């Protein structure tokens, strides 16, 4: 897999850091990953909640979705 320009820049910046700062960079990366996962789960939860509530409308036997 070919490195992108951004990946090379990040690696170059990290290479020049003392080890204690590299550990902080790793912690920050893990924080960003956890934040992304949390947001995805939250988005999925909202979608599930919407679908659950709309299911009541979709499954109503007396309603014809194509009737105006």
Listed by start position, the domains of the chain span 19-58
Beta strands in 7-68 (DSSP E): none
Element (H, E) at 58: helix 19-58
4 pLDDT above the threshold of 90:
yes
Condensed to tens digits (0 to 9), the pLDDT of residues 7-66 reads 999 999 999 999 999 999 999 999 999 888 887 777 777 777 777 777 766 666 666 656
Rg over alpha carbons for the chain, rounded to the nearest Å, is 23
CB 25 within 8 A of CB 17: yes
Question: How far from the centroid of its chain's Cα atoms is residue 63's Cα?
Answer: 36
CA distance 59 to 34: 37
The per-residue pLDDT for 40 is 78
pTM over 0.95: no
The per-residue pLDDT for 67 is 62
């Amino acid at each position: 897999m070919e490195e992108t320009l951004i990946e090379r820049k990040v690696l170059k910046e990290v290479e020049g850091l003392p080890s204690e700062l590299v550990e902080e960079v790793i912690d920050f990366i893990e924080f960003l990953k956890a934040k992304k996962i949390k947001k995805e789960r939250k988005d999925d939860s909202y979608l599930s909640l919407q679908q659950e509530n709309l299911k009541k409308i979709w499954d109503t036997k007396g309603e014809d979705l194509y009737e105006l």
